[in-house]
Amino acid sequence: MATVEDIRTRKKVRSEFTKRMIDITGMDLQVLHGVAYVRGVIKPIKGGPTDLKAELELIATIVKNANLVKDCVIDATIRT
């Protein structure tokens, strides 16, 4: 079960995705015990980044370096 802190962290991590031109409507993002889990389908918005895998790794690095999460597990399908 997610704690209140996990819910707050999830909102902050989700905001990192919305800063970029990535369609996350099919994405499931959960934060449990300080670990972010990214699942579902992720695709670029028209004119967005061409290398979504690199963009996801960048987001994971940013949220880890900002001490928002301990780790970020990306298990999502990337559509181009």
- Using 50 as the pLDDT threshold, list the residues of the chain that sit under it: none
Structure tokens at 4: 């209140």
Q: What is the pTM of this model?
A: 0.90
pLDDT, residue 47, reads 86
Torsion of CA 42, 45, 46, 50, to 10 degrees: -50
Torsion-angle region of residue 33: left (phi > 0), alpha (psi -120 to 50) or beta? left
Whole-number pLDDT of residue 2: 81
